[in-house]
């Protein structure tokens, strides 16, 4: 084998390589016959005939190339992490797409949108198709759901009395709840949360971007709970 497909084989053989380090300049793969000349087409439910015909340029890791979307979701479902992510959406927060994309990357169980049903999908880069999403009308509905599931809610905001995330323990099963630009985590949510954690800041700004905060908090969970701290999806 030669060309881009061979380069990918070599690159993915390196166990230290991550998805952003494989770069051969192309995203995805072309039609199966061009990528794997002489190799029989794979058969079975997981394979998407259209992608095999036309190539697969989706934003998915290489192990899922040519897979049907439903097959990818089913595979992810076998190894999702037990943390959830929730974000308040009372004023159309543009960060929700980023939160969804990061939740996909860290394999959150589910993303909960609290408040408005509509959110700006642009930042999600189509990752929402592979992520379970649940909508709650308001904070009370989210908290009732979490209580009924026995999953503690950890609010993430730099409010007085918050525990530093840098030293806090996060429950293995939990909902990490983020607020929106401006008001931050609502008073109702904070009242019912098991605890609030804050991310240390050192500059002059009052807060960091909610999408960035969500990434930091999710990664703190990964460091504490994801077996060896290394992703295995690629």
Ligand X SMILES: C[S@@+](CC[C@H](N)C(=O)[O-])C[C@H]1O[C@@H](n2cnc3c(N)ncnc32)[C@H](O)[C@@H]1O
Residue of 51, 60, 174, 210 interacting with ligand X (CB under 6 A)? 210
Residue of 201, 223, 229, 232 interacting with ligand X (CB under 6 A)? 201
Site for ligand X in 146-185 (CB under 6 A): 156-159, 178-181, 184-185
Cβ-based nearer residue to ligand X, 67 or 98 = 98
Cα 88 to Cα 139: distance, rounded to the nearest angstrom: 8
Cβ-based nearer residue to ligand X, 51 or 165 = 165
213 binds ligand X (CB under 6 A): yes
Cβ-based nearer residue to ligand X, 60 or 86 = 86
Query: Whose CA is closest to 157, among 193, 187, 196?
Result: 196
Residue 116 CB, nearest approach to ligand X (Å)? 16
Helix (H) or strand (E) holding 133: strand 133-136
Residue 155 CB, nearest approach to ligand X (Å)? 7
Residue of 98, 174, 198, 222 interacting with ligand X (CB under 6 A)? 198
115 binds ligand X (CB under 6 A): no
Q: What is the DSSP string of 66-83?
A: TB-HHHHHHHHHTS--SE
Is 88 in contact with 179 (CB distance < 8 Å)?
Answer: yes
Residue 154 CB, nearest approach to ligand X (Å)? 11
3-state secondary structure 143-194: HHHHHHHCCCEEEECCCCCCEECCCCCCCCCEEEEECECCCECCHHHHHHCC
Residue of 132, 207, 233, 234 interacting with ligand X (CB under 6 A)? 207
Cα 155 to Cα 176: distance, rounded to the nearest angstrom: 6
Residues in contact with ligand X by CB under 6 A are: 156-159, 178-181, 184-185, 198-199, 201, 206-208, 210, 213
């Amino acid at each position: 084998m030669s060309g881009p497909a061979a380069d990918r084989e070599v690159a993915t053989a390196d166990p230290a390589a991550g998805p952003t380090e494989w770069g051969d300049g192309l995203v995805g793969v072309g039609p199966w016959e061009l990528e794997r000349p002489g190799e029989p087409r794979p058969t079975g439910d997981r394979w998407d005939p259209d992608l095999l015909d036309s190539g697969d340029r989706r934003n998915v890791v290489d192990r899922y190339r040519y897979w049907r979307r439903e097959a990818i979701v089913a595979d992810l479902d076998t190894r999702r992490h037990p943390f959830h992510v929730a974000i308040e959406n009372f004023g159309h927060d543009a960060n929700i797409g980023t939160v969804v994309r990061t939740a996909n990357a860290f394999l959150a169980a589910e993303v909960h949108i609290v408040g408005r049903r509509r959110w700006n999908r642009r930042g999600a880069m189509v990752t929402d198709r592979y992520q379970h999403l649940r909508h709650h009308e308001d904070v009370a509905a989210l908290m009732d759901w979490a209580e009924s599931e026995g999953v503690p809610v950890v609010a993430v905001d730099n409010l007085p009395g918050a525990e530093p995330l840098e030293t806090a323990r996060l429950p293995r099963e939990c909902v990490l709840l983020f607020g929106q630009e401006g008001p931050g985590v609502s008073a109702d949510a904070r009242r019912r949360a098991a605890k609030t954690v804050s991310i240390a800041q050192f500059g002059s700004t009052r807060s960091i971007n909610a999408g960035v905060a969500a990434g930091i908090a999710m990664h703190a969970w990964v460091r504490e709970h994801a077996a060896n701290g290394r992703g295995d999806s690629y």
